[in-house]
């Protein structure tokens, strides 16, 4: 949501607060509660399981067939309802009505979730899914070198809107070659966030000023879905040369508008894991790594170099801790075509990960949160304790994990925004 200042103020003041939502009877269903707040012209906002729209909508941004065409995934629980909000007040009502109906809330924006936790649950928790695909407004302010971006927008859409206004500004988002590689010069996307708007567990809309610096720190790299529903980010644009280099893709003659395409061209199964190297991997180690990768034709290694500006930013500046002293990040990926191959390829990548242990970071063995990996550990249905979450939390966040836990405990003490790798709350003394 990239508003001009005037439009931002008009829309903000026009939204009702959580307190103004009518109080429904506790015995009513989620749908009844939601529609007690709105007239009949909002009937397509909440999609029930028996709706013909349910499955196409749920599957629309699943990028991994492990969570689409898999009998094992059929055992995971799917959302009781899917909400497709078109206004912020729809999200407020969703949170309030879900709490009153005994449901939790999960949020899906672009669908980039390696373990499918933004739209499913391995613990059979009942939840409502908020799909933010309608929240993709982008307003670029070249004069002030900023942009407001709603969280349903993709990186490609953001890049396109910036390029519409100027060819000498960019944004350091993403680390894959197709989405951005300039964070060694400018830091991470989270390092360039200036403000945010979110709905908390009480249904209140907050910005940086009202949420406070602790929560603002936590949502910039600590997993916003643990703390609320992020509506939009205000980001700082960075100067870039008008012509950087020339890329050659397998598909030629693609226009700039290809960045607006929200659909993935990948149609298969995959599993990914991550590591960080703090010292060069020995020749012997690389020999064994390449031997294993070459034996598995459908595998891939992505090495992302660190250093530069990344080494100048303190580890505690945001929840993302892997900065000074890290040479590069490793992403291991294996893909396959049919469900019958799943166990074979899952075993292969886990054995590769075990092989790499002597050559990568230790105590903890670091991992990248955006390459979510349930092999590292997960919250349990009846055990989401700090001690259990710390097993995987230190790998993702290292020394910042404890601060994230304290923030989570303060802003969402009932752990309403829960998933298998959400930040836990501290037990009351």
Active-site annotation, residues: 371
154, 162 contact by CB (below 8 A): no
Residue bearing tokens 């799917």: 78
Task: Report the length, in residues, of the chain.
Answer: 429
Question: Is residue 403 within a helix (H) or strand (E), and if so which, with residue range?
Answer: helix 401-411
Question: Is residue 350 within a helix (H) or strand (E), and if so which, with residue range?
Answer: helix 342-355
- Nearest residue to 92 (alpha-carbon basis) of 204, 210, 211, 225: 204
Which residues sit opposite 136 in a β-bridge?
A: none
Which residues, 6 or more positions from 19, have their beta carbon under 8 angstroms from its beta carbon? none
Terminal alpha carbon distance of the chain: 41
Burial of 105 by CB count in 10 Å (0-12 exposed, 13-18 middle, 19+ buried)? buried
Q: Give CA–CA dist 88/365, Å, rounded.
A: 39
Which residues, 6 or more positions from 244, have their beta carbon under 8 angstroms from its beta carbon? none
From residue 400, how far is each of 50, 217, 222, 229, 387 by CA, in Å? 43, 11, 9, 21, 15
- Nearest residue to 370 (alpha-carbon basis) of 183, 168, 148: 183
148, 139 contact by CB (below 8 A): yes
Per the structure block, which two tokens stand in for 78? Answer: 């799917």
Q: Give CA–CA dist 47/55, Å, rounded.
A: 10
96, 21 contact by CB (below 8 A): yes
- Nearest residue to 280 (alpha-carbon basis) of 394, 221, 201, 361: 361
């Amino acid at each position: 949501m990239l508003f001009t200042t005037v439009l931002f103020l008009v829309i903000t003041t026009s939204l009702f607060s959580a307190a103004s939502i009518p109080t429904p009877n506790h015995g009513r269903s989620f749908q009844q509660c939601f529609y007690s707040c709105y007239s009949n012209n909002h009937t397509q906002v909440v999609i029930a399981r028996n709706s013909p729209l349910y499955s196409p909508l749920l599957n629309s941004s699943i990028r991994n067939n492990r969570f689409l065409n898999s009998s094992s995934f059929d055992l995971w629980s799917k959302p009781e309802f899917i909400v497709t909000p078109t206004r912020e007040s729809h999200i407020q009502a969703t949170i309030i009505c879900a709490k009153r109906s005994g449901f939790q809330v999960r949020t899906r924006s672009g669908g980039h979730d390696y373990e499918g936790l933004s739209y499913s649950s391995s613990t059979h928790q009942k939840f409502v899914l908020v799909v933010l695909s309608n929240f993709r407004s982008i307003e670029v302010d070249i004069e002030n070198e900023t942009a407001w971006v709603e969280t349903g927008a993709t990186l490609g859409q953001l890049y396109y809107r910036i390029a519409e206004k100027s060819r000498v500004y960019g944004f350091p988002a993403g680390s894959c070659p197709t989405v951005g590689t300039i964070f060694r010069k400018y830091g991470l996307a989270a390092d360039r966030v200036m403000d945010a708007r979110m709905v908390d567990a009480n249904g209140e809309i907050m910005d940086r000023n009202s949420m406070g610096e602790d929560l603002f720190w936590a949502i910039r790299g600590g997993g916003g879905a643990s703390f609320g529903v992020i509506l939009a980010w205000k980001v700082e644009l960075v100067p870039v040369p008008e012509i950087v280099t020339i890329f050659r893709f397998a598909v030629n003659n693609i226009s700039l508008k290809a960045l607006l395409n929200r659909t993935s061209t990948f149609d298969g199964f995959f599993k990914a894991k991550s590591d960080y190297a703090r010292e060069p991997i020995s020749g012997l180690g690389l020999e064994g790594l390449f031997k294993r990768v070459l034996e598995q034709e459908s595998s891939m290694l992505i090495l992302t170099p660190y250093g530069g500006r990344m080494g100048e930013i303190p580890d505690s500046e945001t929840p993302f801790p892997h900065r000074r002293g890290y040479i590069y990040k490793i992403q291991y990926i294996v893909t396959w075509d049919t469900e019958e191959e799943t166990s074979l390829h899952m075993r292969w990548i886990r054995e590769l990960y075990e092989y790499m242990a002597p050559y990568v970071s230790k105590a903890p063995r670091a991992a990248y949160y955006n390459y979510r990996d349930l092999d590292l550990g997960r919250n349990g249905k009846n055990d989401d304790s700090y001690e259990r979450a710390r097993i995987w939390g230190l790998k993702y966040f290292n020394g910042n994990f404890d601060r994230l836990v304290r923030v989570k405990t303060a802003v969402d003490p009932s752990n309403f925004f829960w998933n298998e790798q959400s930040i836990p709350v501290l037990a009351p003394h």
